[in-house]
Amino acid sequence: MNFFERQDEARRNTRRLVLLFILAVIVIIIAIDIVLLFLFGSTLNEPMVTAPNTFGRFLSTHSPILLVGTGGTGAAIALASIYRSASLKEGGAVVARQMGGVPVEADSKDPLRRRLRNVVEEIAIASGVPVPEIYVMEQESGINAFAAGYSPSDAAVAVTRGTLESLNREELQGVIAHEFSHIFNGDMRLNIRLMGALFGILILAIAGRRILSGVRVSSRSKNNGGNAIILFAIALMAIGYIGLFFARWIKSAVSRQREYLADASAVQFTRSPQGIAGALKKIAVHSQGAVLARDSEEIAHMLFGQGVSAAMFATHPPIIERIQRIDPGFRESELAEIAKRLQRRSRKEADQEAVASKASSKRAPFDPRTIIEGIGRPDWERIVTAAALAATLPASLVSAARSTEWAPELLLCVLLDQDASLRDRQLFTIAEKLGAESEAQVRYLMASAMPIQPSHRLPLLEIAFPALKRRPEAFIHRMLETVTEIVHLDGKIEVFEFLLAKVITLHLTDAMNPAQSRTGGSDTLMNQAQAVRNVIAILASHGHADQGMVSRSYAVGIKSAGLDASPIQIPSNWPNALDKALERLDRLRIREKERLIRALVETILTDAQVITQELELLRAIGAALHVPLPLPLPLLSQKSVPSDG
């Protein structure tokens, strides 16, 4: 199952969630109505108009109670769900903070936190997505983690203190890879919506407890109405716990198979079953297991391990079954020996492990199947490559990328032109738009690390993203305007400038409005045939110097996309045409996006060679379509084709 199939399944699960939620609400409303009829039905007077039959007479007599029960319960559930969903609109960081998460600072001296940041950054760079915000739940000694958010642009990854202290680097890498799988599979968006929807059901139990505590004094009075209210509060609380039963049932129905898939994806990510299996084994023998001290009922379906003690409708498969799917030879009797071995192991081992090891396996070829299968599940080789690449980044630039005060200036520094006169004009624009202090910071970075290597530019942006999005929204808009101006100052746009501007704009826009981000729509390639033709024509024109080969690669791409053959027409203003086309194509169905990416890779491979401009343009297109393309491997043959500007 590839990225597009997993996203499509997540959309089906969302529809399934809606149906299950409606069913649960109907059952709860019926239960509330029955309780109200039992408590208050006998107090009503006979209606003024006699109904023609028994059922009609019953409805006519009791319609006020049914109206109050059905309308009130439905409204309470709907309003609570809407309120909770609105409180989560800022994305994953909100959930992490509500669970007691503390941000991992870029300059942390704690070796365990530094190791966590390094692992997260390596997997993000290998995957071609921004680095998510990183949190540690300091008060939690159990081994657990979760990823939350609507999209990679607003994602947050949180781990417990027990995870940092109990797992070695390989096991931590397996857990983080598991969480990244949830980000790519569409589970994260589904999970945060599940939190909002199910809060409406859980609110009934909360309301019952509040009413019961508020009228407890009335139980000592002779007020029968007060006693009825107490009985109603008890019934409401009981029905609320029936709602909790339904909530767990829904979460179990949606999430259990996704956990198996995320475990399998983590093995593919790291090429090390021992990592994820080792983490699960440690949960099985750990004194706290994966259970959290803080109330985790709301986010139980998000967690790496079962966060609450719930045998019935557990959100996760049994831990032994998860281990045996990864390590078929494992037997439960081995846990006792594992527990003894762990008691002898020092916590210090985590800080002594190597950052990465050499990749020894044969690299996979660059072909459509490899690209499609690699989306959302970068292999071990790419993770090692990302680790090696991260190790070569200048320390001053990495420090700037992780700093809220310096990240915007680093981004602008990456966009500066090599031509001195044009660079001076760009610096003047920065001073005009963002102030003299920003210009001074850019000049300082220029003096300390220029020129920036081409292979470092995109990884630096991905590392800088968490710091960038913490800046005020008004500043982000000004910064995006500045980026647009300095890119257009020379009247032409290089492919990398287009890539960087597109990635920055897309991720920051999604981060500012996470609930509005989307991975797919309902459109088809056939409906957007002209936009598809423009994208394939622009990609073909950037990949080949020979016009005959441009036409040939265009024809190959069009055929792969399933469109009728037609002569190539390359837009004169390719950045503007590509922007407009990608805006339309982002509304494609997720499986139609798969066909388009496949057609684009076929276009690139017509001459059996891949160049830097093609890769950069492909990654820009993928970003605009909300399809994160993995880090290209260095085996790709490189040649130089002049940009057409």
Q: Which domains does the chain have, with CATH numbers?
A: 3-91+192-251 (no CATH), 93-184+259-350 (3.30.2010.10), 393-515 (no CATH), 529-624 (no CATH)
Question: CA 215, CA 208: separation in Å to the nearest integer?
Answer: 11
Question: CA 261, CA 276: separation in Å to the nearest integer?
Answer: 12
Using an 8 Å Cβ cutoff, are 158 and 137 in contact? yes
Contacts of 412 (CB under 8 A, 6+ apart): 426, 430, 438, 442, 479, 482, 483, 486
**CA separation (Å) from 625 to 89, 209, 488?**
22, 47, 23
Q: How many CB atoms lie within 10 A of CB 460?
A: 25
- Label residue 159 by pLDDT band (50, 70, 90): very high
Tokens at 584, concatenated: 């339309």
The 133-137 sheet, strands edge to edge: 101-103, 133-137, 156-160, 145-148
**CA separation (Å) from 630 to 374, 376, 458, 479, 590?**
7, 7, 12, 27, 18
| Position 626, amino acid | H
* DSSP letter, residue 305: S
Using an 8 Å Cβ cutoff, are 288 and 226 in contact? no
Query: Length of the chain, please?
Result: 645
DSSP string for residues in 271-300: T-HHHHHHHHHHHHHSSSTT--SS--TTTG
Question: CA 598, CA 532: separation in Å to the nearest integer?
Answer: 12
Q: How many CB atoms lie within 10 A of CB 360?
A: 8
More confident residue, 619 or 215: 619
Residue 604: what are its φ and ψ, rounded to 5°? -65, -40
**CA separation (Å) from 351 to 121, 133, 354?**
17, 22, 8
Q: How many CB atoms lie within 10 A of CB 392?
A: 10
Residue 635 above 60 pLDDT? Answer: no
**SS3 state of residue 588:** strand
User: Which of 385-389, 492-496, 571-575, 639-643 is predicted most confidently?
Assistant: 571-575
- Label residue 328 by pLDDT band (50, 70, 90): confident
- Label residue 363 by pLDDT band (50, 70, 90): very low
> Any catalytic annotation for residue 432?
no
Q: At what angle do helices 495-512 and 473-488 cross, to 10 degrees?
A: 170
User: What was the pLDDT predicted at 2?
Assistant: 59
More confident residue, 164 or 289: 164
* DSSP letter, residue 345: -
**Residues 436, 440, 445, 451: what is their CA dihedral angle, to the nearest 10 degrees?**
80
- Label residue 612 by pLDDT band (50, 70, 90): confident
Q: How many CB atoms lie within 10 A of CB 118?
A: 18
Q: How many CB atoms lie within 10 A of CB 459?
A: 25
Tokens at 634, concatenated: 């260095």
- Per residue in 95-141, pLDDT (tens digit) is 888 888 899 887 777 888 999 999 999 888 888 788 899 999 988 88
Question: CA 604, CA 639: separation in Å to the nearest integer?
Answer: 13
Q: What is the pTM of this model?
A: 0.66
| Position 55, amino acid | F
Q: Are strands 133-137 and 156-160 parallel, antiparallel or unpaired?
A: parallel
Question: CA 395, CA 459: separation in Å to the nearest integer?
Answer: 13
Q: How many CB atoms lie within 10 A of CB 612?
A: 18
The 3-state secondary structure of 361-378 reads CCCCCCCHHHHHHHCCCC
User: Which among 181, 132, 140 has a CA at the least distance from the CA of 163?
Assistant: 140
Question: CA 116, CA 196: separation in Å to the nearest integer?
Answer: 29
Which secondary structure element, helix H or strand E, spans residue 500, and what is its range? Answer: helix 495-512
First to last CA, the chain: 39
- Per residue in 203-212, pLDDT (tens digit) is 776 666 666 6
**CA separation (Å) from 155 to 146, 192, 491, 515, 585?**
10, 11, 36, 12, 24
| Position 175, amino acid | V
- Which residue among the candidates 9, 179, 409, 497 is catalytic per the annotation? 179
Rounded average pLDDT over 554-576: 88
* DSSP letter, residue 392: H
**SS3 state of residue 117:** helix
Q: Could you check whether the bond before residue 451 is cis, i.e. omega within 30 degrees of 0?
A: yes
User: What was the pLDDT predicted at 636?
Assistant: 37
Tokens at 72, concatenated: 């009130």
User: What was the pLDDT predicted at 354?
Assistant: 36
User: What was the pLDDT predicted at 644?
Assistant: 42
User: What was the pLDDT predicted at 431?
Assistant: 92
Q: Are strands 133-137 and 101-103 parallel, antiparallel or unpaired?
A: antiparallel
Q: Name beta bridge partners: 157.
A: 134, 147
**CA separation (Å) from 543 to 410, 567, 610, 618?**
29, 18, 8, 11
Give counts: helices (H), strands (E), the chain.
Answer: 26, 4
User: What was the pLDDT predicted at 212?
Assistant: 63
Question: CA 175, CA 308: separation in Å to the nearest integer?
Answer: 19
Residue 579 above 50 pLDDT? Answer: yes
**SS3 state of residue 301:** helix
Rounded average pLDDT over 287-304: 73
User: Which among 566, 563, 573, 535 has a CA at the least distance from the CA of 551?
Assistant: 566
**SS3 state of residue 1:** coil
